Amino acid sequence: MRWAAFLWEGASGGARRRPGVSNLLLVVAAASSGGLVAYADSGSDAAVEKPQLPQRKKVVVLGTGWGGTTFLRNLDTRLYDVQVISPRNYFAFTPLLPSVTSGTVEPRSIVEPIRRVLEKKGEEIKFWEAECFKIDPQNKKIHCRSNLGTNLDGNGEFLVDYDYLVVAVGARVNTFNTPGVVENCHFLKEVEDAQKIRRSVMDCFERASLPFLDEEERRKNLHFVVVGGGPTGVEFAASLHDFVTEDLSKLYPSIQHLVKISLIEAADHILTMFDKRITNFAEDKFGRDGIDVKTGYKVVKVSKDAITMQNPGTGDISVPYGMAVWSTGIGTRPFIVEFMKQIGQGNRRVLATDEWLRVRECDGVYAIGDCATINQRRVMEDISEIFRVADKDKSGTLTVKEIQDVLDDISMRYPQLQLYLKSKQMNGIADLVRSAKGDAEKESVELNIEEFKKALSLVDSQVKFLPATAQVASQQGQYLARCFNKMKDAEEHPEGPIRIRGEGRHRFRPFRFLFHHSFAQCFHSWPNPFHGLHSDPIAEYQALPEHSSKSVHLLFSESDSITVLILQVPASGPIRPSRR
C-alpha cells in the first residue's frame, strides 16, 4: 500500500506541476495486497488554453470553370474560410473541346477533379456538388440545390451564408429563342457535349450505311451543319473536316464522297472579331476544303429534319441535315437574370461590374468570366472632377505640366485615354492639348474647362469590351485572388489610382486584360501546341511565353506543309504579318 500511495502522490503532484499535460489523467495501480488504487484528475489550467484565432471571413465561390478555378489556385486560403459550390465537380480545358469531338484528344486528358485542385492548397476547403438557384444579397445568403439523387426526404435544398461571394458560373448557349434549337441541336460547352457530338457523328455515318437508304437519304444523314461563325464554330467545323477526311474516309469509303459540312453565319463574314486578313484566309481555306460557308443567313427554325434560314436576297431556305451544332454566342443563366433584377440591372444582358470586378450596387459580391462584363467608367462622366484634381493651383486653367502630373493616375483609371492617343498617333498628352488649342507651336498651353472637355471629347470612343474567352476569365480570377490576398495590406497602403470623386487612393489598380496568345485550330494537320509542356491544363495554358502578349499565333496548313502565321501587334501602329 505504501508503494500505491507513493505512486498516487507522485502522479497527482506531477500532473499539477506540468500544465502541458492532458486535462484528464487516470492512474491505475495494483497494490501488493490485491487492492486496486485509482486516481483521476480532470482539473484544467487557464495557462494551457490556446489563444483563439481571429475568425476568418467566409468566401463562397460559385463555379469551377476558368474564372473560379484560377481564383482558387491563386487565393491564399489561409486567410479565408473558403467554400466552393458547383454542379460540375471538375475543371475542363474548354479550348480543346472541338478536338474531343473528333477523338484527337481524349476527354479525360482535358479535365481535372476540382477536389484534387483544392487538395493541393493544403487547407480545408469545402466543396459541394450543387447548383445555386437564388442569391439573396440583402442577407448575404445563397440558396442551393443538390443535383445528385438521394434516398433522403426533402428536395436537397440548403442555405449558405457568405462574407464575400465570387460569381463565376459562366454562361449558357444563347438560342435567341429560335424554335427547335434546344430540341434538335447539339451545343459545345461541356465535355459531355463533345462526347454526344462524337457519338452523333458516328450514328449519322452508320445510318447512311444502311442498305435500304437511297442516295438522297444518305446525303441528308451526312450533312453536318454548324450554326455560328465564331471561334468555336469555326474550330469545330475544321475539326470535323479533319475527322471525316483522315479517319472516317477509311472506315466508310463508299459514302465518304456524300459528306457535306455547312457553316451558317448571320454576319457578312466569319471570325468577325479577328483581323480581316484572318477572316479572308479562313473563308478561302474553307472554300478549298469544300466546307460550305453561308454568310448573311439567319436561322429562324430548326425541325427534326431541316433547318430554315433567311437571307434578304433569297428569302426563306430549308436545308435537310443529319446533325446540327449550335454555336451562336452566350446567354445569361436564369438565376443570374433574377439576381440582376434584384439589384437594378434587369435591363442588361449580363452582370455589370466595375473595374475592380465588384458587382455594382451589391456589397461583397464579385463576378468574373462569361457571366459578367466590366462597365468601364467614361472620361466625360468625370471630366469636371478630373479638371478639379489636375488644377492644383486653382487657377481655373490647366497647363501641360499639370495634366502630366496626374496623367499616370488618369490613364490607370481610364485606359481608353492611352488607346486614344495611340490611335491618333500622338506622342503624349501634350500633343492632345496643343491640337485642341489649335496652336502646336507654343510650348506652354493652358486650357480652360470647356477647352479641356473638347480635347477629351472623343477619348471614350476607345472603350473596349472584353471577349467571352478562357483567357479573360483566367486573368480575372488571378487578379481577384491577388486583391483578396492583399486586402488587409491595401487598407493601410493603397496601390490604386487617386480617387477622382473623393479623397485618397483606390486600394487596388483596376483590372487590365493582357492579350497573351490566341490559338485556333482552323485547319488540319496542326501540331499539339502544348506538346512538351506541363501535365496540368491550366499550367499549360499559362506557361506559354510572356513575350507573346504582343502576338497572335495562328497555325495553318496548306497542302502538306504547315504555315505558321504570326501577327505581330506592336505597341502602336498597324499589324504586320510575317510568315515562318
CA distance 149 to 151: 7
Q: What is the pLDDT of residue 498?
A: 94
Contact by Cβ (8 Å): 110, 92: yes
Percent of the chain with pLDDT over 70: 77
Nearest Cα to 305, choosing from 399, 432, 217? 217
- Give me the residue label for grid cell 501540331: 527
Q: What is the pLDDT of residue 515?
A: 76
Q: What is the pLDDT of residue 53?
A: 57
Q: pTM (2 decimals)?
A: 0.80
69 — pLDDT class (breaks 50, 70, 90): very high
Q: What is the pLDDT of residue 400?
A: 86
Task: Convert the pLDDT of each residue in 158-212 to its tens digit.
Answer: 999 999 999 999 999 999 999 999 999 999 999 999 999 999 999 999 999 999 9
Question: What does DSSP say about strands 330-331 and 315-320: parallel, antiparallel, or unpaired?
Answer: unpaired
Whether 458 shows a pLDDT value over 80: the answer reads: yes
In eight-state DSSP terms, residue 82 is E
- The residue with greater pLDDT, 463 or 16, is 463
CA distance 236 to 60: 35
- Which residues make beta-bridge pairs with 568? 551, 576
Task: Convert the pLDDT of each residue in 369-378 to its tens digit.
Answer: 999 999 999 9
CA distance 475 to 453: 34
- Which residues make beta-bridge pairs with 58? 81
What 3-state class would DSSP assign to 307? strand
Question: Average pLDDT in the 514-542 region?
Answer: 49
Question: What does DSSP say about strands 576-579 and 172-173: parallel, antiparallel, or unpaired?
Answer: unpaired
Q: What is the pLDDT of residue 573?
A: 38
Whether 57 shows a pLDDT value over 60: the answer reads: yes
509 — pLDDT class (breaks 50, 70, 90): very high
Contacts of 468 (CB under 8 A, 6+ apart): 171, 330, 369, 370
Question: Average pLDDT in the 148-162 region?
Answer: 79
Q: What is the pLDDT of residue 520?
A: 55
- Give me the residue label for grid cell 485556333: 520
Q: What is the pLDDT of residue 274?
A: 80
Nearest Cα to 174, choosing from 340, 333, 373? 333
Count of Cβ atoms closer than 10 Å to residue 120 Cβ: 11
Q: What is the pLDDT of residue 148?
A: 80
Task: Convert the pLDDT of each residue in 462-504 to its tens digit.
Answer: 998 888 889 999 999 999 999 999 999 999 999 999 999 988 9
- The residue with greater pLDDT, 340 or 401, is 340
CA distance 489 to 555: 45
Question: Average pLDDT in the 551-573 region?
Answer: 34
Whether 109 shows a pLDDT value over 80: the answer reads: yes
Give me the count of residues in the chain. Answer: 580
Percent of the chain with pLDDT over 90: 65
- The residue with greater pLDDT, 342 or 149, is 342
